Every structure is written in C-alpha cells, then in structure tokens.
Amino acid sequence: MRKKRIMVIGPTNCGKTTLVNALNDYNGPLRKTQDIIYGKNTIDVPGSYVENTWMYKHLIATAQDASHILILVDQSKCVDVYSPGFAKAFKCPVIGVITKVDLMAENEDLCIQQLKKIGISEPYYKISVPSEIGIKTLKEHLFLKEK
C-alpha cells in the first residue's frame, strides 16, 4: 500500500512550497514547483493546477495518494482562484489554511469567506512560516491524527 501524504494546493506564490518544506522539516533552498512533487510527508502541487480549471482532474487523481488536503489562501493578496464548492471534489479531509497572516490583517475576513465558498468548514489554520505563526498547531493536528 502506498504511503498517504498531505497534499498542498494553492495559487502561485501563496506559500505552498514554504509550507511543504516546514511539514517535511526541510531547510534547503526554495525552487519554483514545476510539477507535482512527492516529499517525505507531502505532495506539493504547482499553482497552475488550481488556476486552470481543466487541470482539476489531475488534482482529483493525485488526491488518491493523500491523507489530508490543505487548501491555501494567501492573506497578503486575497485572489479568488477556486471554484465554488471546490473542496467537495475530494474524499479525504480538506483543511483550510490562511497563509502569510503576518501581512495585511485587513484581508482575514475575505480569506475566511473564500474558504467557506470553497466548501471548507472551520477550524481554519492561520499560519506564517517565516514568523513561525501557527505551524506547530497545524503540524500537531496533521501528524497526531495520522497515529
């Protein structure tokens, strides 16, 4: 049986790879994600997969290898890229994550509205990897549930 990993989905530059590196305890250099990358604990998906609706089928197929799906929205630039009810396409638990919470606090309510429209229920995890906000709580939720 294949190992189930945490799939991370979000628009370009929302902090997916930075979060993936934190979840994998990796401190190396960041590179633009060109294709789906299977890491130690994660599946890192390029932003183009969610920004182009015709690629949703690839997300759904890849989700078969996921224990959880993290759907990211970026508080620093609240761009609405997801289709309404997008989260309902997946069979495993879907978790809403607001990234870059240390930037543009005035966008928090917009991000929460987006997550609700996508079809994700609370709790939402508010994180900033560089500032180490919320990462420990998210890791505890993800990795304690696996055991």
pLDDT digits (tens, 9 = 90+) for 70-107: 999 999 998 889 999 999 999 999 999 999 999 999 99
Cis peptide leading into 46, omega within 30 of 0? no
35-47 residue pLDDT tens: 999 999 999 999 9
Exposure letters 41-74 (e unless 16+ CB within 10 A, then b)? bbbbbbbebbeeeeeeeebeebbeebbbbbbbbb
Domain residues for 62? Answer: 5-141
Is 147 inside a domain boundary? no
For the chain, the domain total comes to 1
Residues 69 and 90 sit within 8 Å (Cβ to Cβ): yes
Tell me how many degrees the CA angle 90-94-98 measures, rounded to the nearest 5: 135
Helix (H, G, I), strand (E, B) or coil at 14: coil
The answer as to whether 146 is a domain residue is no
The residue among 47, 44, 111, 119 whose CA lies nearest residue 74 is 111
CATH number of 13's domain? 3.40.50.300
Residue 43 lies in a domain: yes
**In this structure, is residue 109 part of a structural domain?**
yes
* 3-class SS of residue 98: strand
pLDDT at 118: 96
H/E stretch holding 76 reads none
Instruction: Note whether residue 84 is domain-resident.
Output: yes
pLDDT at 12 over 50: yes
